[in-house]
Amino acid sequence: MSTSTVTVTVIGMTCGHCVSSVREQIGNIDGVTAVDVDLASGRVIINSHEPLERSAIQNAVEEAGYQLAE
């Protein structure tokens, strides 16, 4: 089985609760196996079985209440 890793930057996270919200929402995307969030940089590393649509990631981030950097 192939795996895919994508790194995105999330704008607006300020605390551990923010990290938890983003991790939970992105983790709900079908096929996601791991979500690593770095609060200081806003960097989010997402591992999944298949490449993810950017729109799916963006929707999850917005659902959590934050913005995806371009």
- Average pLDDT per consecutive 10 residues, the chain (70 residues; last block may be shorter): 91 97 98 97 97 97 96
Strand-pair partners of 7: 45
> Where are the strands (E) in 1-70, listed by range?
4-11, 32-37, 43-48, 67-68
One-letter amino acid of 49: H
DSSP class of residue 34 equals E
Enter the pTM of the model.
0.93
pLDDT attached to residue 56? 98
State how far Cα 35 lies from the chain centre. 6
Q: Work out the burial of residue 57: count CB atoms within 10 Å of its CB; fewer than 13 is exposed, 13-18 middle, 19 or more buried.
A: buried
